[in-house]
């Protein structure tokens, strides 16, 4: 498998698979099921639909049940009278994106626009901003965690595959009744127009729901809107993002062990493990260095990789960003004389090369700092390194939001490292 394929798999893992698994399995930062409040929450996705949503509203009105609708902004604009009817009849309206696209397939800015367009569409109709959000298919990307300050993210605890017509109403009704507990959040769909759904599936959902509500009435179950249910359950944990970060760091460091083994990335000195290294050929445009040397395509280089486990330890032990920067520079300066020893044993190496967001002070240490050329590598490196900064750096989120951090190429010739950082010296000659 090529390095590009592995890199794409890493990006996919970090960007969406790992965050989605942690949120879905661990429930970090999202509401998936009531814990203290008895009461069933009926929720409906993918609408409004001009054929099925009116029938659903009639059914809910007949049983005096209040539900929560996670609507698509584009459909809200197309059928404003249905949104207004939901609102007037006491149902809660949330967002399910502007169109039914998975967040994994969109950039953070695209997701943000989907939500802002949906908020605007719904607010223009009912005069209130929706604050409850369910991402399509329950799939998120890592940057969606920032949305937790603006929206209450709501998933579900009971799903019965009502987007399929197979089995008809009996399958849906039987699954609802057999799996139900009195504090579930039930996911149903009042439209069959999304990818993977049968167009006539809502017919069977409505038939099954009618019989389900009749049985629930007999059992004297209570139905609640999501906002009422969450209020009765009490406030959300205040720091879900920090807990999520620690979990992601743990799994990420385990993944890095596998990555290092696959690509033969290893520590150079057990005493100064701020960097791991990989001996490889440089591939890319010529880099002209500060000392009139250059790195050309095909040159043998030492590729530097930050030891993120060490970096995370330093962050945890540093009380301020200034202290972190000082400790980081000190460790780099301790590492470079050891690198000189390695270069003297590998005289065929032309230079040292890396891509990083932590490049402040690199020029003073003799490195050339350059922007990445436009292209796939730049885009993927940008996503990957911004994720790491967001997770590892104490002010990563704030600095990313301000645009203060962006990936750069840092490079230095082997001869310059040997000249500046003699192996028999404990301090570098700056």
Q: Which of 71-80, 272-281, 373-382, 406-415 has the lowest mean pLDDT?
A: 373-382
Average pLDDT over residues 54-72: 98
> pLDDT category, 389, cuts 50, 70, 90?
low
The H-or-E segment that residue 6 falls in is helix 3-12
For 168-202, write each residue's pLDDT tens digit. Answer: 999 999 999 998 888 899 999 999 999 889 999 99
Check residues 425 and 165 and name the one with the higher pLDDT: 165
pLDDT at residue 428, rounded to an integer: 41
Domain 30-236 sits in which CATH superfamily?
Answer: Glycoside hydrolase/deacetylase (3.20.20.370)
Provide the CA 252 distance to its chain's centre, in angstroms.
13
pLDDT at residue 382, rounded to an integer: 64
> pLDDT category, 312, cuts 50, 70, 90?
confident
Residue 86 has pLDDT above 50, yes or no: yes
Q: Does 49 participate in catalysis according to the annotation?
A: no
pLDDT at residue 13, rounded to an integer: 75
Mean pLDDT of all residues belonging to the chain: 84
Check residues 26 and 330 and name the one with the higher pLDDT: 330
pLDDT at residue 377, rounded to an integer: 60
The H-or-E segment that residue 275 falls in is strand 275-281
Q: Which of 86-100, 266-280, 385-399 has the lowest mean pLDDT?
A: 385-399
Q: Which of 79-88, 206-215, 386-395 has the lowest mean pLDDT?
A: 386-395
pLDDT at residue 405, rounded to an integer: 57
The active-site residue out of 91, 189, 305, 359 is 189
The H-or-E segment that residue 396 falls in is helix 396-401
The active-site residue out of 45, 46, 49, 162 is 45
pLDDT at residue 391, rounded to an integer: 60
CA angle 109, 112, 113 (to 5 degrees): 90
pLDDT at residue 129, rounded to an integer: 96
Pairing between β-strand 368-371 and β-strand 408-413 as defined by DSSP bridges: antiparallel
In angstroms, rounded to a whole number, what is the distance separating the alpha carbons of residues 324 and 316?
Answer: 9
pLDDT at residue 333, rounded to an integer: 84
In angstroms, rounded to a whole number, what is the distance separating the alpha carbons of residues 32 and 42?
Answer: 12
Q: Which two tokens mark 344?
A: 């003297």
Check residues 135 and 271 and name the one with the higher pLDDT: 135
In angstroms, rounded to a whole number, what is the distance separating the alpha carbons of residues 33 and 210?
Answer: 23
Average pLDDT over residues 141-157: 87
Sequence length of the chain is 430
**To which residue do tokens 């001009």 refer?**
50
Residue 36 has pLDDT above 70, yes or no: no
> pLDDT category, 58, cuts 50, 70, 90?
very high
Residue 64 has pLDDT above 70, yes or no: yes
The full set of domain ranges for the chain reads 1-28+244-263, 30-236, 264-420
Residue 365 has pLDDT above 80, yes or no: yes
Check residues 329 and 193 and name the one with the higher pLDDT: 193
Could you give the percent of the chain with pLDDT greater than 90? 52
Residue 42 has pLDDT above 70, yes or no: yes
pLDDT at residue 15, rounded to an integer: 79
Q: Does 346 participate in catalysis according to the annotation?
A: no
Which of 239, 182, 171 minimizes the C-alpha distance to 208?
171
Residue 227 has pLDDT above 90, yes or no: yes
pLDDT at residue 259, rounded to an integer: 78
Q: Using an 8 Å Cβ cutoff, are 185 and 157 in contact?
A: yes
């Amino acid at each position: 498998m090529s390095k590009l394929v592995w890199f794409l798999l890493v990006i996919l893992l970090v960007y969406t698979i790992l965050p989605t698994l942690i949120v879905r399995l661990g429930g970090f930062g999202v509401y998936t099921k009531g814990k203290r409040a008895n009461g069933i929450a009926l929720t409906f996705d993918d609408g409004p639909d001009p054929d099925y949503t009116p029938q659903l509203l009639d059914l809910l009105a007949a049983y005096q049940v209040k539900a929560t609708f996670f609507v698509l902004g584009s459909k809200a604009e197309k059928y404003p009278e249905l949104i207004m009817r939901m609102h007037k009849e006491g149902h809660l309206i949330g967002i399910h994106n502007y169109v039914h696209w998975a967040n994994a397939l969109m950039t953070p800015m695209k997701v943000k626009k989907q939500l802002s367009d949906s908020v605007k569409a719904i607010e223009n109709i009912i005069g209130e901003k929706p604050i409850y959000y369910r991402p399509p298919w329950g799939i998120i990307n890592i940057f969606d965690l920032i949305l937790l300050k603006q929206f209450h993210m709501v998933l579900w605890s009971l799903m019965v595959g009502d987007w399929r017509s197979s089995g008809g109403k009996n399958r849906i009704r039987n699954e609802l009744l057999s799996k139900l507990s009195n504090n579930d959040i039930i996911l149903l769909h009042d439209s069959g127009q999304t990818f993977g759904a049968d167009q006539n599936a809502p017919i069977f959902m409505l038939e099954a729901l009618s019989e389900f509500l009749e049985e629930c009435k007999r059992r004297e179950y209570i139905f609640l809107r999501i906002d009422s249910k969450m209020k009765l359950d009490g406030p959300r944990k205040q720091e879900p993002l920090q807990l999520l970060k620690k979990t992601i760091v743990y799994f990420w460091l385990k993944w890095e062990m596998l990555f290092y083994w696959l690509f033969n990335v290893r520590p150079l000195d057990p005493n100064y493990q701020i960097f791991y290294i990989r001996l490889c050929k440089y591939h890319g445009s010529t880099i002209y260095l500060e000392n009139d040397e250059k790195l050309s395509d095909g040159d043998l280089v030492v590729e530097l990789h930050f030891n993120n486990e060490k970096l995370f330890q330093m962050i945890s032990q540093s009380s301020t960003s200034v202290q972190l920067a000082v400790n980081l520079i000190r460790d780099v300066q301790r590492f470079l004389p050891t690198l000189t020893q390695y270069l003297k044993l590998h005289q065929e190496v032309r230079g040292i090369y890396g891509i990083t967001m932590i490049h402040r002070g690199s020029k003073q240490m003799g490195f050339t700092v350059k922007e990445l050329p436009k292209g796939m590598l730049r885009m993927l490196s940008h996503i990957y390194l911004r994720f790491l900064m967001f997770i590892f750096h104490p002010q990563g989120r704030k600095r990313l939001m301000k645009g203060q951090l962006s990936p750069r190429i840092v490079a230095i010739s082997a001869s310059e490292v040997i000249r500046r950082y003699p192996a028999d010296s404990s301090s570098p000659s700056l």
